[in-house]
Structure 1
Amino acid sequence: MNPEIKSYFPILNQEINGHPLVYLDSAATSQKPTPVIEALKEYYEFDNSNVHRGVHTLGNRATEKYEGAREKVQQFINANSTQEIVFLRGTTTAINLVAQSYGRANVEEGDEIVITYMEHHSNIIPWQQLAKERGAVLKYIELEEDGTISLENVRAAITDRTKIVSMVYVSNVLGTMNPVKEVAKIAHEHGAVMMVDGAQAAPHLKIDVQDLDCDFFAFSGHKMVGPTGIGVLYGKKHLLEAMEPVEFGGEMIDFVGLYDSTWKELPWKFEGGTPIIAGAVGLAAAIDFLQDIGLDEIEKHEHHMAATAMDKMSKIEGLDIYGPTDPAKRAGIVTFNLKEVHPHDVATVLDMSGIAVRAGHHCAQPLMKWLDVTATARASFYLYNDESDIDRLVEGLRSAKEYFSDVF
Structure 2
Amino acid sequence: MTRDDGVKKTVQAGMSRRYFLQVSAAGAVTATALGASGFVRPAKAAAYDTFTWISPRGTLEVLDDYAYWSAAKMGYFGDMKTEMQPGPSDGTATVKFVDVGQADMGFPSPGVYSFSIQNGMDLISVFNEGALDTFSFAFRKGEGTKDLKKLEGKTILLGSAAWQSITDPLLASQGVDVSKVKYVEAGWPAWGTALQSGQGDAALSWEGLRAEWVAKGLNFEYWLGVQNSKFPANTFVVRKSDMADRDKKAYIERYLRGWAMGLQFGYENPRASVEIVFDKFPTLAKNLGPEIGTTSILQQIHVFRGDMAEREGWGAHDMKSWQAFFDTLKDIGQITKDVKAEDVLTNELIAGANDFDKDKVKSDAGSYELSKDMQAVDIDKIRQHLYDQAI
Instruction: Output the TM-score relative to the length of structure 1.
Output: 0.25
User: 1 or 2, which has the higher strand percentage?
Assistant: 1
Give the greater-gyration-radius structure (CA). 1
User: 1 or 2, which has the higher helix percentage?
Assistant: 2
Instruction: Output the TM-score relative to the length of structure 2.
Output: 0.26
